[in-house]
Chains A and B, each alone.
Chain A
Amino acid sequence: MADGHVPVLPLLRRGLAAGGLAGLAAGLFSLLLAEPLMDRAIRLEERRQEGEHSHAAAAAAVKHHEELFSRGTQHFGLVVTAVVVGLALGVFFAVAHALVHRRSDASARPWPRAIALAAAGFAGLSLLPGLRYPANPPGVGDAGTVGDRQLMWVAAVVIGALGMVLAWQVHTRLTAAGRAPAVCQTAVAGTLVAVLLALFALPDNPDPVPVEGTLLWDFRMLSLASHAVLWAVLGATFGALGLRALRERRAAGHRPDPVPSAV
């Protein structure tokens, strides 16, 4: 362990446990708070389309959300989707943790490391892409543009993730070069501004948003809040499990690792 060996499997188990719990928490949070909004948005969409077209073809199109599953099943689907997303992000979290700390004792300082990584994950994968392409409630989204929008969204998520890696590298390298905190932090802020510029160089979402402002704002806030719940529970659970493993390791008689731990 002392040679920089990264025991990646314990981290992976920790990531899956923390991710599953985080997904469940985010799923239940949004089931309670966001589903009433989504149900309202779907009712408004149906009313809007009924008002616009009364012929049979449009009436069939109106029903498209109910075609395959009831709203109740889609509510359940929301929680299942959130758990799947949590598990997947838990895997990324564990592997990112192992890679970031591969040169230091992998078990050291579990809590601050987990919280810092969760904050970076929220910023890079949730907040930055969410600023460029904010979430829209059901009823917004043209089936004809969905392929383009998916490409743009994936590009935004990739840019957000690369931006976090870049900011981390800038900070690590400047600190290692002995630069003052003011220089390091300004450089990181400059990096984040460059990432934002790259994000806003992507094309705009082409779809109209025919939704009242209050509903749209509430939905977008709840979307970001669900992301925040997921990352917070993921980071806190991962950190708590790391603390427990550290206690057990010490209780088993291992000396604290002599390798100095970088952040």
Chain B
Amino acid sequence: MSLHTARHTDPAAVSAATVRTRDWLIAAGAVVLALIALYAVFIDNGSLISATGDYLHEFSHDGRHLFGAPCH
């Protein structure tokens, strides 16, 4: 618990806080990537990720049905 009080003066504690912030930023980035991946396999119909046309939809077609995502 002493780390809390020392955080603003102790260089080691300051760098620990920096590392923590960096780690959480990486985690937030991973969450965004995960959301994009789920959007790609479950939602996209070639409308927003337009370069894929219907290929992404048809490739993940069986997975959509199996996991209960709405399909045409």
Asked if residues A91 and B34 are in contact (CB atoms below 8 Å), the reply is yes
Chain B residues whose C-beta falls within 8 Å of the C-beta of A34 in the assembled complex: 66
Within 8 Å by CB of B60, from A65, A77, A92, A138, lies A77
Name A10's closest neighbour in chain B (CB-CB): B23
Question: Smallest CB-CB separation from B27: which chain A residue?
Answer: A8
**Category for how many chain A residues contact B:** 35 or more
Whole-angstrom distance between the alpha carbons of A175 and B41 in the complex?
Answer: 40
Q: Is there a chain A Cβ closer than 8 Å to B3's Cβ? A: yes
Q: Is the CB of B71 within 8 A of A81?
A: no
Q: Is B62 interfacial (CB 8 A cutoff)?
A: yes
Q: Which residues of A contact B26 (CB under 8 A)?
A: 8-9, 12
- List, in ascending order, chain B residues with CB within 8 A of A30's CB: 66
Quick one: closest B residue to A81, CB to CB? B63
A12 touches B60 (CB 8 A): no
Query: Which of A35, A73, A85 is within 8 Å of B59, CB to CB?
Result: A73
Name the prevailing secondary structure of the A interface residues: helix
Q: Are the CB atoms of A12 and B65 closer together than 8 Å? A: no
Q: Are B64 and A81 in contact (CB under 8 A)?
A: yes
B23 touches A133 (CB 8 A): no
- Check if A47 is an interface residue, CB within 8 A of chain B: no
Expressed in whole angstroms, the minimum distance between the Cβ of A64 and any Cβ of chain B is: 8
- Whether the Cβ atoms of B68 and A150 lie closer than 8 Å is no
Residues of B within 8 A of A87 (CB): 34, 37
B62 smallest CB distance to A (angstroms): 4
Among the stretches A140-148, A182-190, A232-240, the one at the interface with B is: A140-148
Residues of B whose CB lies within 8 Å of any CB of A are: 1, 3-4, 16, 20, 23-24, 26-27, 30-31, 33-35, 37-38, 40-43, 45, 54-55, 58-72
A-B residue pairs, 6 tightest by C-beta: A81-B63, A135-B68, A149-B70, A88-B34, A143-B72, A78-B62
